[in-house]
Amino acid sequence: MTSIEEINYELGINIMKASVLFIPSIMIEEAKKKNDTIDFDQYGGKVLLIEGNGKNYFLEDNSPSLYHVLQKSVLLDGNILKLLQWKEKFDTATFEFILEKYREQLKGYTFAAEWLQANVRSVVPDVSEEVLGSFGMQYDQLEKHRLDVDRRFGLRALEQQNPSSAPVANEKMELPAIMELMGMENLNKGMATVQETVVPKQDRSERIKALKAKIEAEADDYLLDYIFGVPTGKTTVEH
């Protein structure tokens, strides 16, 4: 048995690694509400780097970042390989569900990367040109990967039939909406399991609906700890 949690974690961890982030003030205020024993203000106005091996730290002056972010494309290619393997391993309905959740997850991260790129100067006024370029590279890689996933798994035709479901790269979203999208769709704890062996026949839409309902019912709020590296004590990025 392989759990949806494990699958989402495998894919999500590669999206997160080789990343640059900063913590918006709205998230710092939210962190204060959840944990009043830590001085979260110390994390404001700083850029957090997550290396390709999971090591993470705040960048100091002249610290390299672009080299690390360039590794993201290799990690994302690894996700493509995993999806191809799972396409052969699971029944059609199960794989479609896995792919649906990954696309939603990827859309959230891509929107977030675009927002981070557009707002880094206002939050980190002294950001270096290299770090600024790293934010741009990060968004470009995620958007390229999103399009690659669509192309490889034949999703273009689906989006043409239902344009409202297609992610729009230049669509404007406020940060709370992005955070909600990311928080609801990624790396949730205690989720439903996926049957690796023969699955009893059942209407495909009912099976997908049932799996989705379990995930949404048991989703955890991991965003502060996991996405932005704020140590609330719940989880850490694995090496």
The DSSP code for 140 is H
Please give the average per-residue pLDDT across 11-29, as a whole number.
90
One-letter identity of residue 13 = I
Asked if residue 20 lies in contact with residue 51, where contact means CB atoms within 8 angstroms, the answer is: no
The mean pLDDT of 142-153, rounded to a whole number, is 94
Query: For 139, left (φ over 0), alpha (ψ -120 to 50), or beta?
Result: alpha
> CB count, 10 Å around CB of 174?
10
The Cα–Cα gap between 138 and 73 comes to 9
Encoding tokens for residue 13? 């961890």
CB 208 within 8 A of CB 96: yes
Q: What is the mean pLDDT of residues 109-128?
A: 92
**How far does CA 35 lie from the centroid of its chain?**
24
Task: Give the least confident one: 73-77, 97-101, 120-124, 156-160.
Answer: 156-160
Q: Cα 238 to the chain's mean position, in Å?
A: 15
119-130 confidence digits (pLDDT tens): 999 999 889 999
Whether residue 90 has pLDDT greater than 60: yes
Listed range (54-68, 108-122, 180-194) with the worst mean pLDDT: 180-194
In 3D space, the residue among 111, 14, 128, 120 whose CA is nearest the CA of residue 65 turns out to be: 128
Buried b (16+ CB within 10 A) or exposed e, 102-120: bbebbbbbbbbbbbbbeeb
Mean pLDDT, all residues of the chain: 74
Residues 29-59 have pLDDT tens digits of 888 888 888 888 888 889 999 999 999 999 9
Across 185-192, average pLDDT: 31
| Helices vs strands, H then E, count in the chain | 10, 5
Which region among 88-97, 118-127, 200-209, 225-234 has the lowest average model confidence (pLDDT)? 225-234
